[in-house]
């Protein structure tokens, strides 16, 4: 791995590969491009946002919502 580190990094950035580096005591790591990492972070945030929207919609369907103007007047 150490001798070929640059080539592994190039595979991650140029070819979009995800490299899993296995280590002793199950201390494994992953090498991936910054672009792919950012995509994954965005996907996670989008999933969290959609989950919040779903919960909000369920609350509205259950009659637990408040009118916009009523909320601001309180």
Give the domain ranges of the chain: 1-32, 33-65
The pLDDT mean for the chain works out to: 91
**Rounded CA separation 5/16 (Å):** 15
Average pLDDT value for residue range 41-56: 96
**Rounded CA separation 67/74 (Å):** 11
pTM passes above 0.85 = no
Name the band, by pLDDT with cuts 50, 70 and 90, for residue 22: very high
Average pLDDT value for residue range 33-48: 97
**Token digits of residue 7:** 């080539």
Name the band, by pLDDT with cuts 50, 70 and 90, for residue 1: confident
């Amino acid at each position: 791995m150490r001798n070929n580190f640059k080539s592994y990094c190039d595979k991650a950035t140029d070819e979009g590969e995800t490299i899993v580096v296995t280590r002793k005591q199950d201390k494994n790591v992953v090498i991936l491009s910054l672009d792919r990492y950012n995509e994954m972070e965005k996907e996670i945030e989008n999933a969290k946002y959609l989950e919040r929207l779903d919960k909000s919609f369920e609350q509205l369907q259950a009659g637990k919502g408040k009118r916009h103007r009523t909320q601001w007047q309180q």
